C-alpha cells in the first residue's frame, strides 16, 4: 500500500516562497551562490536537520533556539538528509528558473551560477505574506543569516563540509 503525503520541499511554488522569505529576511545579501542558497533552503524546509549542522561555536545557541522554535509533525519517515537534499535539486532548479522568468532574480547572474534578488520586482502582497512568515520564526532566520554570510561555501570547513549535504573534497579553493 502506498502512502500519499504532501511535502513542501518538493513543490516548486513552496520553494519559491521559501526563497522569497530568504531574500526579504536578508536584504543585505545582494547575490549568493546557487549551492549556498540551496543549502539554506534545505534548512528552511527541514529545520530539524539543523541538529546535524556543524556550526561555529557562536552559532550553536542560535541553532538550538531555532530548532526549539519549530513544531514539526511529519506524516511518515523521511530518507536521510543527503538523499532529501539531492531529491530537492530539480524542484529548486525549477524555482530558480521561475524566479528568473518572473524577474524576481537577475537572469544574467542566474545563468552564471549566482542568485541576485530583485526585491523591487516582488509584488507587495507577496512581500507581505513572506514577511508574516518571517516574523513567525525569527530564530530560524537568524540561522539563515549565519548560513548565508558567516561561512565560506567551498573546501574543508566550508558550508558544504559543515552541512554534510554536498561533496567538498574536489572544490576549487
13-52, pLDDT tens digit by residue? 999 999 999 999 888 889 999 999 999 999 888 888 888 8
Q: What is the pLDDT of residues 75-91, one digit of tens each?
A: 667 788 999 999 999 99
pLDDT at residue 34 in the model = 95
Closest CA to 142 of 50, 8, 75, 6: 50
| Mean pLDDT estimate for the chain | 86
The per-residue pLDDT for range 88-146, each reduced to its tens digit, is 999 999 999 999 999 999 999 999 999 999 999 999 999 999 999 888 888 888 888 88
Residue by residue, DSSP assigns the chain as -------GGG-HHHHHHHHHHHHHH-TT---EEHHHHHHHHHHHH-GGGGGG----HHHHHHHHHHHHH-----SS----HHHHHHHHHHHHHHHHHHHHHHTSB-HHHHHTTEE-B-GGGS-HHHHHHHHHHHHH-HHHHHHHHHHHHTS-SSSTTSHHHHH-SS--TT---
Q: Is the pLDDT of residue 162 over 70?
A: yes
pTM given for the model: 0.88
* pLDDT level of residue 57 (50, 70, 90 thresholds): confident
Amino acid at each position: 500500500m502506498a502512502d500519499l503525503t504532501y511535502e513542501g520541499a518538493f513543490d516548486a511554488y513552496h520553494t519559491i516562497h521559501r526563497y522569497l522569505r530568504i531574500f526579504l529576511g536578508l536584504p543585505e545579501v545582494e547575490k549568493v551562490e546557487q549551492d549556498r542558497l540551496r543549502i539554506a533552503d534545505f534548512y528552511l524546509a527541514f529545520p530539524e536537520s539543523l541538529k546535524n549542522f556543524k556550526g561555529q561555536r557562536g552559532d550553536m545557541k542560535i541553532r538550538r533556539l531555532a530548532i526549539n522554535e519549530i513544531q514539526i509533525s511529519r506524516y511518515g519517515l523521511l530518507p536521510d538528509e543527503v538523499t532529501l537534499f539531492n531529491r530537492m535539486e530539480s524542484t529548486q532548479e525549477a524555482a530558480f528558473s521561475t524566479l528568473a522568468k518572473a524577474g524576481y532574480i537577475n537572469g544574467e547572474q542566474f545563468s552564471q551560477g549566482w542568485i541576485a534578488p530583485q526585491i523591487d520586482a516582488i509584488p507587495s502582497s507577496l512581500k507581505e505574506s513572506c514577511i508574516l512568515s518571517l516574523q513567525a520564526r525569527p530564530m530560524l532566520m537568524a540561522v539563515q543569516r549565519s548560513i548565508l554570510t558567516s561561512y565560506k561555501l567551498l573546501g574543508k570547513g566550508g558550508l558544504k563540509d559543515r552541512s554534510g549535504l554536498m561533496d567538498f573534497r574536489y572544490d576549487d579553493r
